[in-house]
Structure 1
């Protein structure tokens, strides 16, 4: 099939920043794109060929949108899977497949998948309602501390809380959830795996992630991870196993813990371009967004190696600021060596909302990390 400068249509479910960065690549290749998103101010709106406002969880909306494209992909997991299954039955190519998304969309189902396929993960318990956890603690079934996670609709640190006492359960929504043993770990790592329908597979270098202690969001992504080669190899092997068993197509980000004794445990996965791969836009031969497009169109995969060390800094809304966004001190970070900001196009900021990111590249990872800290301390995402 001719994808380039043709009548071919690629549909994208979700119009946020991931979709916007994906569209950089489709515009480069002159691939016609159609985007569905619930917000009339979605970041993708300015970059796609066709934009439709609509509910991603509504069967009819997703089904009717998908009928009018040749290949359908996602930039967010929270979508109507029944509609995707029907589209697949009618011959529309959906990548990642609905079966993969059904495994991933519910965190309890995802964790059970790891157990069933002998993929190492932290011990956990599943609850129909958060209110059941207190009884489990009283009866000796659960011990503090643990990590509470709602099974559906969590993102960017939302729907996750460390529970160290009964008081920490106060105010949590009474929903289906898991309680996961809190793992004492050295590092949080991630590996991005990419796979096309022909079976070609590639992995990006292992990255190291540093998280904000309050927001549970990634603050820094460091590539390459500052870990032993044997640990990196182990993480790579496990990520490939997850990809193979899930039968995913496209980009799959596998987030992992490196324990104190250098074991690797899978935390969770994202079946799409991911925050842990944003560094690749400046630092890799083929960035994760181009790679995702190559994979879902069954084109040859690109080179995943890094040209240079890269660090990504997330730009999130400052605490105490809600309203029209202002990027304070942007000029100052632009003076710094190897610094490239990416602004996502969200007009309204609020505390900890992802508004953009900054990539820092340098031949020396230590220098890149130092500049990244300067960036983090300089630019502020505030309101008018």
Structure 2
């Protein structure tokens, strides 16, 4: 199929920042795009050829949108999968395939998938209702502390909570969830795997992630991870095994824990471009967004090597600020060498909302990390 400067249409479900950055690449290649999102102010609106307002969880909205494109992809997992399955049955190419998406959408199914395929992961329990957790503790089958996760629709740190006592159970959503053993890990790592329709596969370097302790969001992504080669090789091997078993098409971001004993445990996966790959826009030969486009259109995969060390700093809304956004001191980070800010196009800020990111590139990873800290301390995302 001729994708370039043609009548071909690529559909994207979700109009957030991931879709916006994907559109940088489709515009570079002159691929016609159509995006659907529930918000009329979605960041993707300014970059696509056609923009449709619609609920991603509504069957009719997703089905009718998908009927008018040639290939359909996602930038967020929370979509109506029944509509996607019907589109697949009718010949629309949907990537990631719905069989993979069904597993990934639900964290309980995801964890069971790892167990069934001998993929190392933290011990867990599955609950149909959150109220059952208390009973499990009282009967001695669940011990503090543990991690609670909502089974579906958790996103950007929402739907995850460390439970240290009975009081922490208050206010949890009532529906299906899992609890995981709290792992005393040494590092949180991630590997992005790219797989095209033919099954050709490649991985990006292992990255190290530093999280905000309250928001459960990534603050820094460091590439390459500051770990031993044998640990990095193990992480890549496990990520490739997850990819092989789940049979995705496109990108698969595999988040992992490195334990104090240097074991690698899979935490969870995302079947799309991912926060852990944003560094690649400036630091890699082929950035993750171009790679996703290559993979879902069954084009040859690009070089995933890094040209230079890269660190990504998330820009999130400051606590105590809600309303029209102001990027305080942004002009100061423009003065720093190797620093590139990315602003997502969200006019309204709120505490911990992802509003942008900054990439720092440098031949010396330690110098890049020093500058990243300086960036983090300089720019503030506040409201007017």
TM-score (norm 2): 1.00
Instruction: Give, in whole Å, the separation in 2 of the partners of 1:174 and 1:60.
Output: 28
Match of 2:86 in 1: 86
Instruction: Give the superposition deviation at 1:354.
Output: 0.1
Instruction: Give the superposition deviation at 1:67.
Output: 0.4
| Moved beyond 4 Å, runs of 4+ | none
Instruction: Name which of structure 1's ranges 285-294 and 124-133 shifts more when overlaid on structure 2.
Output: 124-133
Instruction: Give the superposition deviation at 1:343.
Output: 0.2
Match of 1:256 in 2: 256
Match of 1:198 in 2: 198
Post-superposition CA distance 1:63-93 (Å, at most 9, x none): 0100000000000000000111111111100
Match of 1:173 in 2: 173
Instruction: Give the superposition deviation at 1:174.
Output: 1.1
Structure 2: segments with no counterpart, 5+ residues: none
Q: How does 1:1-384 map to 2 (within 5 A)?
A: 1-384=1-384
Instruction: Give the superposition deviation at 1:173.
Output: 1.3
Instruction: Name which of structure 1's ranges 20-29 and 85-94 shifts more when overlaid on structure 2.
Output: 85-94
Instruction: Give, in whole Å, the separation in 2 of the partners of 1:185 and 1:256.
Output: 10
Instruction: Give the superposition deviation at 1:171.
Output: 1.2
Count of residue pairs brought into register by the alignment = 384
Instruction: Give, in whole Å, the separation in 2 of the partners of 1:362 and 1:140.
Output: 51
Instruction: Give, in whole Å, the separation in 2 of the partners of 1:175 and 1:181.
Output: 20
Instruction: Give the superposition deviation at 1:18.
Output: 0.1
Post-superposition CA distance 1:139-198 (Å, at most 9, x none): 011001000000011011100000010111111111110010000000000000000011
Instruction: Give, in whole Å, the separation in 2 of the partners of 1:86 and 1:149.
Output: 29
- Structure 1 vs Structure 2 CA RMSD: 0.4
SS in 1 for 2:197: coil
SS in 2 for 1:44: helix
Instruction: Give, in whole Å, the separation in 2 of the partners of 1:72 and 1:175.
Output: 30
Post-superposition CA distance 1:10-51 (Å, at most 9, x none): 000000000000000000000000000000000000000000
Post-superposition CA distance 1:99-125 (Å, at most 9, x none): 110000000000000000000000000
Instruction: Give, in whole Å, the separation in 2 of the partners of 1:138 and 1:58.
Output: 40
Instruction: Give, in whole Å, the separation in 2 of the partners of 1:156 and 1:78.
Output: 12
Structure 1: segments with no counterpart, 5+ residues: none
Instruction: Give the superposition deviation at 1:257.
Output: 0.1
